[in-house]
Amino acid sequence: MEHIDFSLVDWSRAQFALTALYHWIFVPLTLGLSFIVAFMETLYVKTGNPEWKRITKFWMTLFGINFAIGVATGIILEFQFGANWSNYSWFVGDIFGAPLAIEGIMAFFLESTFIAVMFFGWKKVSKSFHLLSTWLVAIGSNLSALWILVANGWMQYPTGMKFNPDTVRNEMVNFWEVLFSPVAINKFLHSVSQGYVLASIFVIGVSAWYLLKEREQFLAMRSILVAGVFGLLSILFVILTGDGSARTVAKYQPMKFAAMENLYVGQQNAPLAAIGILHKDNAEGEHKKEDFLFKIEIPNMLSYMAFLDANAYVPGIKDLVHGNPQHNILSYKERSEKGRIAIASLAEYKNAKKAGNDSLSAAALKRFEENYPHFGYGYYANRDVHELVPSVPTSFYSFRIMVGLGFHFLALFIVVLWLTLKNKIESKRFILYTALWTIPFGYLASMLGWVVAEVGRQPWVIQDILPTIAAVSQIKTSSVQMTFGLFMIIFTGLLIAEIKIMTTQIKKGPATEGLSTIH
């Protein structure tokens, strides 16, 4: 691995991070707003009140703006798998491609077909069919997210596959294991419910702006009520699935969990650092150790959060890097040696097979299969194994800020709902301003969730199987730098356009019936 171009690896990672984070600006609002619009149209069909139709059309317009830009950024994102990460695509294309293909064939076509009816069918189809189309768009949007998140969940916890030494590719052997992997299911439920929270915050914030401006009181009050109920139920579900996510990470990605919690030395009855400030510990032999300048701990909570057992042993960074025989934890050096054997045995198998030496190829294949679970570590056989430790400060702080914001959202939904039901919210300007300025924090929490998920599993593209240094395409670094700059300009332009169009539409307000731009 002495020929690794780390500049190419870093720029390829940076470009994917750039496009993924920009894309995720638009996705969660689409996921949640589609259901809020469906709820509102259902109320229109049930009550026959034309004001509900007017409200539905207003939020539908904002959904449409966001949906269109989200689709554009998503297409660019998927092209990078072939352009910048072709080794990855070759290695696992038979598995990773399946969910993406299903997403395109089933979910995307479902929402694309009925979105035309949703926007242009108000006077062309019956109320019930139009309502059905709106619900199908919402379901289709979330099905798209399902297949994307299943693919990502598989990268975090590869299952349902078998490596084919003849083609040097991983092949799917059990589709249902891939789909119903505990990591994939939990990731889907947590991510989409977070999208519902963001959309609820957005609707409440925009409605609060109308109340502050003393405009569209009926729309604002009704929208706050719908979004408040939806948001409260969603944030409770986010907390529930977040608890489940912690256990799946502790079980399948222990290094990510240790980095998130800045746990350097494993322990039983491990406390949770609810709040903490880190600083670098440069003690000799203590590589990548972060110490606490300040922390507030909850006794035994980390052990319970990870394994539902306050007495459970939680491995730390030192245990995973240097090993802990008492708890059957191999060191990274041992795993890298086993990975080196796997890589060498694969080459021996290919050469023996080519030479027609069946006994030698069989022996090499057996050694390879015995050591394959450590395959990815072989790329670090001659490197500092501390490179396998992700950024602790990034993981630690991102996780805590995200969780802290989550509890702020919970309190906001409760307060806003209570004041709305008591018809007092219009006079509570501090709460209205808080709701308005919570919108950017909703996006921040959403982004930080992905930072925890993706930075925390570095340097793996596929956990334990394929590191980033082996997944990139062999292209010029200058090409990646050039496209990075282009994407930065294009995506920033799209974001500015979205904000401009959205704010213009919000300031304009809902159209009166008969003048709506959505017919």
Match 């921040």 to its residue by tokens.
444
- Above 60 in pLDDT, residue 519? no
State whether 367 and 286 are in the same domain. Answer: no
Residue 159 in any domain: the answer is yes
State whether 495 and 376 are in the same domain. Answer: no
Residue that terminates a domain, selected from 321, 347, 369 = 321
How would you classify residue 212: left for phi > 0, otherwise alpha for psi between -120 and 50, otherwise beta? Answer: alpha
State whether 294 and 368 are in the same domain. Answer: no
Match 């139920």 to its residue by tokens.
233
pTM above 0.85, yes or no: yes
Domains held by the chain: number: 3
Residue 297 in any domain: the answer is yes
State whether 314 and 345 are in the same domain. Answer: no
Mean pLDDT of 434-447: 96
Alpha-carbon torsion, ordered 32, 492, 144, 75, to 10 deg: 160
Please state, for a pLDDT cut of 70, what percent of the chain lies above it.
96
Helices (H), 422-476: 429-455
Match 């027609």 to its residue by tokens.
356
Q: What is the pLDDT of residues 110-151, one digit of tens each?
A: 777 888 899 999 989 999 999 999 999 999 889 888 988 998
56 φ, ψ to 5°? -60, -45
Residue that terminates a domain, selected from 281, 297, 321 = 321
Q: What is the pLDDT of residues 443-487, one digit of tens each?
A: 999 999 999 999 999 999 999 999 999 999 888 999 999 999 999
- The type of residue at 269 is N
- Above 50 in pLDDT, residue 515? no
Residue 350 in any domain: the answer is yes
State whether 268 and 360 are in the same domain. Answer: no
Helices (H), 456-516: 477-508
204 φ, ψ to 5°? -65, -40
State whether 123 and 81 are in the same domain. Answer: yes
Give me the sign of the Cα torsion angle 73, 74, 75, 81. Answer: positive
pLDDT at position 5: 82
Residue 422 in any domain: the answer is no
Residue 510 in any domain: the answer is yes
- Above 70 in pLDDT, residue 339? yes
State whether 306 and 345 are in the same domain. Answer: no
Q: What is the pLDDT of residues 403-424, one digit of tens each?
A: 999 999 999 999 999 999 999 9
- Above 60 in pLDDT, residue 518? no
Q: Domain range spanning residue 309?
A: 259-321
Q: Angle CA(39)–CA(41)–CA(42) in degrees, nearest 5?
A: 65
The answer to whether 174 and 224 are in contact (CB under 8 A) is no
Question: CA-based diameter of the chain, in Å?
Answer: 85
| Listed range (96-100, 126-130, 437-441) with the worst mean pLDDT | 96-100
Task: Supply the DSSP symbol for 329.
Answer: B
pLDDT at position 168: 87
State whether 100 and 133 are in the same domain. Answer: yes
Give yes or no for a cis peptide into 182 (omega within 30° of 0).
no
State whether 41 and 99 are in the same domain. Answer: yes
Return the closest-CA partner of residue 84 out of 171, 3, 11, 20: 11
Strands 161-164 and 169-172: antiparallel
State whether 39 and 173 are in the same domain. Answer: yes
pLDDT at position 69: 85
More confident residue, 72 or 388: 388
State whether 147 and 272 are in the same domain. Answer: no
Q: What is the pLDDT of residues 18-48, one digit of tens each?
A: 998 998 999 999 999 999 999 999 999 999 9
Q: What is the pLDDT of residues 238-247, one digit of tens each?
A: 999 999 999 9
Mean pLDDT of 374-398: 92
Residue 447 in any domain: the answer is no
Task: Supply the DSSP symbol for 472.
Answer: S
Residue 248 in any domain: the answer is no
The answer to whether 28 and 496 are in contact (CB under 8 A) is no
pLDDT at position 286: 67
DSSP calls for 28-61: HHHHHHHHHHHHHHHHHHHH--HHHHHHHHHHHH
pLDDT at position 93: 77
The answer to whether 332 and 320 are in contact (CB under 8 A) is yes
**For the chain, how many residues are written?**
519
Return the closest-CA partner of residue 131 out of 48, 222, 29, 31: 48
State whether 44 and 120 are in the same domain. Answer: yes
- Above 70 in pLDDT, residue 272? yes
- CA atoms lying within 13 Å on the CB side of residue 199: 35
Mean pLDDT of 63-83: 82
pLDDT at position 6: 85
The answer to whether 123 and 142 are in contact (CB under 8 A) is no
More confident residue, 417 or 93: 417
Residue 14 in any domain: the answer is no
Q: What is the pLDDT of residues 292-335, one digit of tens each?
A: 989 999 999 999 999 999 999 999 999 999 999 999 999 999 99
Average pLDDT, the chain: 91
The answer to whether 44 and 53 are in contact (CB under 8 A) is yes
pLDDT at position 422: 93
Task: Give the SS3 label for residue 276.
Answer: strand
pLDDT at position 514: 46
Contacts of 75 by beta carbon, 8 Å cutoff, 6+ apart? none
